[in-house]
Amino acid sequence: MSKLEEHMEGIINVFHQYSVRTGDFDTLSKGELRQLLLKELANTIKNTRDKETVDKIFNGLDANRDQQVDFIEFTTLVASVLKTAHENIHQE
């Protein structure tokens, strides 16, 4: 497996690690997303402990307004974080 394929599998595994807490492997509840943000992106996203920040991120990701973040919606967060990290690397 290539390095990129390993990283993609890692993203999928992280999503599943947090999505299984309420029994649905394909979606994250707001609480599950909060835990993921706290443990996996605390150094990247500011104020992950702040309820307003989590609410804003969750509402921005929940495109179909079903009160769940599915994997496709989650990839929006991953893409946004990657874009910002890429921009920051070029500013160094």
- C-alpha Rg value of the chain to the nearest Å: 13
Q: Distance (Å, rounded) from C-alpha 92 to C-alpha 35?
A: 30
Q: What is the pTM of this model?
A: 0.89
Three-state SS at 90 = helix
92 pLDDT band (50/70/90 cuts)? confident
Could you give the domains of the chain?
A: 3-91 (1.10.238.10)
Write out pLDDT tens, residues 4-59: 999 999 999 999 999 986 667 799 999 999 999 999 999 888 888 889 999 999 99
69 exposed, middle or buried (CB, 10 Å; 0-12, 13-18, 19+)? Answer: buried
Say if CB 40 and CB 81 are below 8 A apart: no
Write out pLDDT tens, residues 44-83: 888 888 899 999 999 999 999 999 999 999 999 999 999 9
What is the structure's pLDDT at 45? 87
What is the structure's pLDDT at 22? 66
Residue where the block lists tokens 């309420």:
22
* Both structure tokens of 17: 């690690």
Closest CA to 25 of 15, 40, 39: 15
